[in-house]
Amino acid sequence: MLRQKVLALYLANSALDSVVVGWSLWDGTGETRRMAGDEDAPPYPTGLHALRDGWRLIQASPLLPHARGEEFDLAYLKYEFLFEQIVETGA
């Protein structure tokens, strides 16, 4: 059976080799149960390190122009990169 693991890395800028500032992991194999607040050090120093470890990039947040009048409004983390691993399980 194939199962998916999804890793979200939030980076310091739009380059994949920039520093990880936030991260999340969901494990479709059921072997681990990750949750908010469970880790204070990132799993990789940069997004590139995740690639080198076998994670496949499946989505990167686009660079959008800044709407006039809203240039200084900040909301969500800006540089989101989603990765996956497809894992063979015995289930």
Partner 1 sequence: MNDLPLLSAEAMASFAARGFLRFDGVVPEDINRQFLEEMGDIDPPRPGQKMRRTYGEMLARAGVPQVPAGVALAQAYPEGTALKRLLDLPLVSGAIRSLVGEDPVFDHHFLHVTFPPAYHEASGGENVSQHYHQDSTIDPRRAFDIQIMYYPHTVTREMGGTRFLPGSHLRKVSEAAIARYQNIRGQQHMVCEGGTLLFLHSGIWHGGGVNVSDRTRTMFKVRINPSRSQVRQFDVSTLKPQDAQRPIFYLKGPLPNSVEQILMTPEPWHENDTSRLELLNRVKLWRYLTGDPDYDADYWATRLETLADA
Amino acid type, 28: G
Which are the contacts of 56, defined by CB distance < 8 A and separation ≥ 6? 83, 84, 85
Residues that bind partner 1 (CB under 8 A): 8, 10-13, 18, 20-25, 33-40, 42, 72-79
Residue 52 DSSP SS3: helix
How many residues are there in the chain?
91
